[in-house]
């Protein structure tokens, strides 16, 4: 596997762990309990800072590269590119709703829970399309020379949660994920 794809795949495993923790918070909401909203805030902060601002732009470089060279898988790739924009919007919206709750805004539990559920569905559907269809195709088709070009164009940033240096902000979230 190319180094770029291996790194993106590792990110997906990490995102899944964050999403599984968010799923637990959703379970608490559905049970009529209050989840740890500070923790939910950190999960969304991580996804918006790392997934939306780094992981997705890196994938965008690969997807645009593939679209320039061939129309194969174009339908899936166009969908993934659109989803990157949509995921950023729903992450920002859920983050705003969560920050509102933390700031004392009264919001219907059912409404917020539905928003979390939809967020989880969309994030997971996106990961699944990449892992099941598009990544295996790209891995099979692109040559080492293609990956070298992609590597040059792609942005690099260390993961603040699972990377070599854990950001102070995410220490609590990291402990929860490792312990869960
Ligand atoms: Fe993606
Ligand atoms: Fe991805």
Question: For residue range 58-73, what is the model confidence (pLDDT) as tens digits?
Answer: 999 999 999 999 999 9
Q: Could you tell me if 23 and 73 are in contact, meaning their C-beta atoms sit under 8 angstroms apart? A: no
CB neighbour list of residue 122: distance below 8 Å, 6 or more residues apart: 83, 86, 87, 90
CATH number, domain containing residue 166:
1.20.120.520
Structural domain containing residue 113:
3-179
Helix locations, 31-163, DSSP H:
37-46, 56-69, 74-102, 109-129, 135-141, 144-153
Q: How far is the CA of 12 from the centre of ligand 2 (A)?
A: 6
Report the C-alpha gap between 54 and 21 in whole angstroms: 21
Q: How far is the CA of 103 from the centre of ligand 1 (A)?
A: 31
> What does the pLDDT look like over 80-94, one tens digit per residue?
999 999 999 999 999
Predicted model pTM: 0.94
Residue with tokens 């790392």: 50
The number of domains in the chain is 1
Q: How far is the CA of 130 from the centre of ligand 2 (A)?
A: 6
Where residue 163 falls (left for φ over 0; alpha for ψ -120 to 50; beta otherwise) is beta
Q: What's the N-to-C CA distance of the chain in angstroms?
A: 29
DSSP annotation of 16: H
Q: Tell me the pLDDT of the chain averaged across its residues.
A: 95
Where residue 44 falls (left for φ over 0; alpha for ψ -120 to 50; beta otherwise) is alpha
> What does the pLDDT look like over 45-61, one tens digit per residue?
999 999 999 999 999 99
For the chain, what's the residue count? 180
What confidence category does residue 1 fall into, taking pLDDT thresholds of 50, 70 and 90?
A: confident
Mean pLDDT of 6-29: 97
User: Does 106 score more than 90 pLDDT?
Assistant: no
Q: How far is the CA of 8 from the centre of ligand 2 (A)?
A: 6
Report the C-alpha gap between 67 and 65 in whole angstroms: 6
pLDDT (0 to 100) of residue 107 = 85
Q: How far is the CA of 33 from the centre of ligand 2 (A)?
A: 32
User: Does 180 score more than 80 pLDDT?
Assistant: no
Q: Could you tell me if 44 and 178 are in contact, meaning their C-beta atoms sit under 8 angstroms apart? A: no
């Amino acid at each position: 596997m190319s180094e770029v794809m291996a790194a993106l795949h590792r990110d997906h495993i990490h995102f899944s762990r964050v999403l599984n923790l968010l799923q637990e918070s959703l379970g608490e909401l559905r049970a009529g309990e209050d989840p740890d909203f500070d923790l939910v805030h950190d999960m969304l902060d991580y996804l918006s800072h790392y997934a939306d601002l780094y992981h997705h732009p890196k994938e965008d470089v690969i997807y645009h590269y593939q679209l320039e060279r061939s129309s194969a898988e174009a339908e899936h790739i166009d969908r993934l590119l659109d989803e990157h924009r949509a995921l950023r919007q729903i992450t920002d919206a859920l983050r705003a709703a969560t920050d509102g709750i933390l700031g004392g805004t009264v919001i219907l539990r059912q409404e917020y829970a539905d928003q979390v559920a939809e967020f989880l569905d969309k994030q997971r559907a996106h990961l699944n399309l990449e892992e099941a269809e598009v990544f295996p195709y790209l891995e099979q088709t692109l040559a080492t020379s293609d990956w070298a070009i992609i590597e040059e164009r792609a942005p690099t940033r260390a993961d603040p949660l699972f990377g070599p240096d854990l950001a102070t902000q995410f220490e609590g979230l990291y402990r929860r994920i490792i312990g869960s």
